[in-house]
């Protein structure tokens, strides 16, 4: 029964913790199943003596914790030893509390156990899922934003609200506002660019006029930094009819600027399938219809199989990304997500913030990601090894006992 409890804990936590829904391989997500696991252990060892009971508790928690760590390491390529140990401590403390429901005679025992549990859960909450409230307005730098995508304010309302009739703030603008004071602009010229304090997000804009292209090129050469999203086949859905000037262009209109810099945006090979890739730093980027850049200059360095191009333009820098759908909330917060760190299905907004100059320590902590369904099978197979090893030891011990 003990081995069965440990074996069931792994798939139960994967489902109850939202690992399957989000693709996150994070040990602390198994805390959602810990209460049921602890209750089952307390019931299983209810008749045992104190030393035998706690020996069984410790063995079960140690085995289950090892299985979770191995699963996350293999399936999500994320070896979170410290968070796994924290999960084990939470499980052991939950067992103690439930065990105490039948054995503690004084209320002080409940108070002490609850305080210890809160002491473990609070740092887990702040560590893995930091509070999403933005910092002080004065401490956030300005970010100039120009885009044709359905995000940002329009006469005091989010564009997504205007187009769909929905309510609430735009999730992209909300995510960026945690790190920046957004300044949405309609025309590229020196004053609004300077107001961005050296930072610009140019996300799949409308066709730029010649004077705007000149102003942008000059501003970057003088030390400006820009994140430029250019999509050859935008898949972001829109309720506006074709030909409506408010509808984002189907393809990027930045070819004159890119050609001037020695960069060519290649056509998209597949514009409807979501491509999930793990970046060099371990973060997960989800794109749709993304392409790659062809480079004919030494000023630009390709990254991520040329999906990105980092260009030194004079004294400034432009990071080019061959996809604009990465900002689409459907690719990073899911269909039923709230935009919080716990519900994210990719690191798109964390990557966008880092590309715009936000430091890694100011972003949500990294987590493991299950990229393919086959990874789940490999993870379960690897996590079963300690279980099978213990089962073999028990069978061998039983064989020797009966042999005598």
What average pLDDT does range 261-274 have in this prediction? 84
pLDDT score of 40 more than 50? yes
Q: How confident is the model at residue 213 (pLDDT cuts 50, 70, 90)?
A: very high
CB-side neighbour CA atoms (13 Å) of 136: 2
pLDDT score of 135 more than 70? no
Higher pLDDT, 242 or 201: 201
Query: Phi, psi (5° rounding) for residue 115?
Result: -65, -40
pLDDT at 112: 54
pLDDT at 355: 95
DSSP 256-313: HHHHHTTEEEPPPS-SSSEEEEE-TTS-EEEEES---EEE--TTEEEETTTTEEEEEE
pLDDT at 118: 56
Mind listing the pLDDT tens digit for each residue in 154-190? Answer: 433 344 444 444 445 688 888 898 899 888 888 888 7
Cα angle 32-36-42, degrees, rounded to a multiple of 5:
140
What average pLDDT does range 102-112 have in this prediction? 54
What average pLDDT does range 280-299 have in this prediction? 89
- How far apart CA 214 and CA 294 sit, in angstroms, is 22
Q: pLDDT exceeding 70 applies to what percent of the chain?
A: 81
Q: What is the dihedral of CA 319, 321, 324, 327, to 10 degrees?
A: -60
pTM for the model stands at: 0.83
pLDDT score of 42 more than 80? yes
pLDDT score of 131 more than 50? no
Going by DSSP bridges, is the β-strand pair 199-203/284-288 parallel, antiparallel, or unpaired? unpaired
Domains of the chain: 2-130+370-403 (no CATH), 137-362 (3.40.50)
Mind listing the pLDDT tens digit for each residue in 297-319? Answer: 899 999 999 999 999 999 999 99
pLDDT at 60: 87
Higher pLDDT, 346 or 139: 346
């Amino acid at each position: 029964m003990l081995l069965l409890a440990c074996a069931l804990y792994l798939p139960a936590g994967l489902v109850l913790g939202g690992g399957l829904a989000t693709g996150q391989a994070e040990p602390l997500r198994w805390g959602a199943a810990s209460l049921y696991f602890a209750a089952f252990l307390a019931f299983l060892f209810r008749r045992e003596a104190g030393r035998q009971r706690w020996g069984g508790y410790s063995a079960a928690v140690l085995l289950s914790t090892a299985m979770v760590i191995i699963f996350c390491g293999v399936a999500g390529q994320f070896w979170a030893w410290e968070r796994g140990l924290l999960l084990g401590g939470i499980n052991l403390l939950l067992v103690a509390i439930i065990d105490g429901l039948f054995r503690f005679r004084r209320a002080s025992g409940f108070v002490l156990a609850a305080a210890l549990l809160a002491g473990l859960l609070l740092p887990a909450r702040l560590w893995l899922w930091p509070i999403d409230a933005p910092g002080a307005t004065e401490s956030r730098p300005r970010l100039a934003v120009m885009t044709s995508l359905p995000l940002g304010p329009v006469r005091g309302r989010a564009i997504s609200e205007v187009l769909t009739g929905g309510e609430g703030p735009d999730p992209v603008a909300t995510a960026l506002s945690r790190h920046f004071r957004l300044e949405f602009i309609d025309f590229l010229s020196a004053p609004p660019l300077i107001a961005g304090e050296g930072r610009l997000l140019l996300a799949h804009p409308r066709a730029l006029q010649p004077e705007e292209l000149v102003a942008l090129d000059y501003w970057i050469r003088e030390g400006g930094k820009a994140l430029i999203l250019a999509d050859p086949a935008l898949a972001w859905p829109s309720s506006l009819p074709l030909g409506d000037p408010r509808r984002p262009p189907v393809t990027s209109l930045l070819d004159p600027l890119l050609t001037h810099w020695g960069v060519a945006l290649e056509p998209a090979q597949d514009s409807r399938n979501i491509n999930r890739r793990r970046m060099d730093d371990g973060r997960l980027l989800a794109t749709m219809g993304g392409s790659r850049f062809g480079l004919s200059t030494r000023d630009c360095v390709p990254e991520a199989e040329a999906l990105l191009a980092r260009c030194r333009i004079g004294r400034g820098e432009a990071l080019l990304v061959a996809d604009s759908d990465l900002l689409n909330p459907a690719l990073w917060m899911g269909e039923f997500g709230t935009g919080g760190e716990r519900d994210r299905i990719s690191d798109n907004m964390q990557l966008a913030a880092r590309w715009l100059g936000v430091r890694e320590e100011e972003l949500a902590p990294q987590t493991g990601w299950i990229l393919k369904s086959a990874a789940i099978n490999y993870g379960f197979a690897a996590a079963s090894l300690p279980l099978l090893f213990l089962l073999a030891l028990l069978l061998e011990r039983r064989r020797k006992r009966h042999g005598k």
